[in-house]
Structure 1
Amino acid sequence: MADLLSEQAYGNPVGERLRVAREEKGLSLDDVARQTRIPIRHLEHIERGEWDALPAITYSVGFARSYATAVGLDGPAVGAELREQLSGARSTAAGPAAYYEPADPARVPPRSIAIVAAILAVLLIAGYLFWRHEAVGNAPDEGQIADRTTPADAPQNPAPQPKAAPAGQPAQPAAAPTGPVVLAATQDVWMRVTDGNNPKALFQGTLKAGQTYAVPPAAQAPTVRTGRADAVTVAIGGKPAGPLGPPNKTLSVSLRAADIASRGQGGAAPAPNGPAAAPAGGR
């Protein structure tokens, strides 16, 4: 068989062509081995035409096809050519029994992966058995199920009862009034109304007795400053909120409805319906 498949008898057209293509690309056998993952000794046998040193025809054809693809040749065509060459040679003489050499260690997964996989499988099985044991052991018996059953005469959806206020705690206050804030003068009083940091006053001057001034709804932080806060009453949304402040004291008071309501000063007389105050800067 060795004589029939030797390079002297049949030549080595496939191996020679692969070697030439490799050298033209400037590749070494190591380069081809890294690309194809074929052991270097097999590549050397292919280039020298030592086909009898390789495994069965299937391996030889596969190695040659991968080698050809790595060096830029037509892999399937080279494989078909080699198969025809080797089949013709083997038809003239009985070849040695085919054998399979041990797998290349570089292509076999490391043993640590198999060990880790086995450990994971054991842990999964143990976890499943533990879960099943706990599920069966904690299942309620018929007596527990009967105790948890709602009696037939028990109300299914009792109507919610209003919660009473805890002892010693005052009842929740009513919602603060909202609406336009209106100032009313019970006597002639000078005042200045501003909005936040805006230097321009919304109103500045004397509010005559019986006159009213409505704070603009667009004001963000309206404030009034006066020396006779007792001569001015406040109404929020038409509801009296008492006098602006104590007598004979110059002070600045926020005119936001929430701030006025939080002072808790009630019981003042309703704002009189007198003539409206002039706009700021006009009087």
Structure 2
Amino acid sequence: MSIGNSPDDGRPSIGRRLRQARVESGLTVDEISSTTRVRAPIVHAIEQDDFSRCGGHVYARGHIRTLARAVGLDPADLIAQYDAEHGGRPSPTPAAPLFEAERIRSEPRRPNWTAAMVAAIVAVVGFVGFTLFSGGEKDSGRSVAADGPTTRPATPTHSPSKPADPKPDPSESAIAAAPANKVTVKVTATDAASWISAKDHNGRLMDELVLKEGASKTFTDDKRIDLVLGNAGAVQLFVNGKEIKNVGDNGQVQRLSYTKGDPEAG
């Protein structure tokens, strides 16, 4: 299926929207495949609105959701468009009715009159003995109560518990104690997910990933860190313990480099 517009409302197709967002973010298909773990041939097929290689509607929705987050699009909007174009989500299958097994009635047991008589005799003997014993105990109890002094039970005293010492508030940023002889960069996805990549001063790749909203990642090197942000407006950036303001706009790709010392001095 070629890239085009949705046949229903004239808006761009799912594949075209994903491809346009990827190109505007400055990312290649291989970079998206490496970050999202979606194989490159499937990425190419989805961008051409060919979902047959996904293996079914469930996997197609999952791939669309993953690719949308990687390029800064709203996954819910694309999933809704996919459901509208492919017949919507399947209706849940009603559970089969359960049949209650017929209960087997047990035959009534015949009463054991011998055991009943023995139990009745034991109860009568016990009641008579208890009555005689209780009468003697009442008389002796009264005399003891008359002779002995009346004492009140001591009221237990409870010492007020000492309030626990308040726990110290954690530091607003663990990067505030960054060592001065190294380069330390902390990236936090505050507003939305963002694709990030970091390399050391030798050009070796330290890590590349899609940083989910609310997650953080810290990089450290002896000399320099080269950073690529796929959605610069959605991240908060600390370099050597200092926050960098106005990193970029939403959906903007930023390529930055930082060395030791004050990041804004040079």
Bigger radius of gyration among the two: 1
TM-score calculated relative to the size of structure 2: 0.29
TM-score calculated relative to the size of structure 1: 0.27
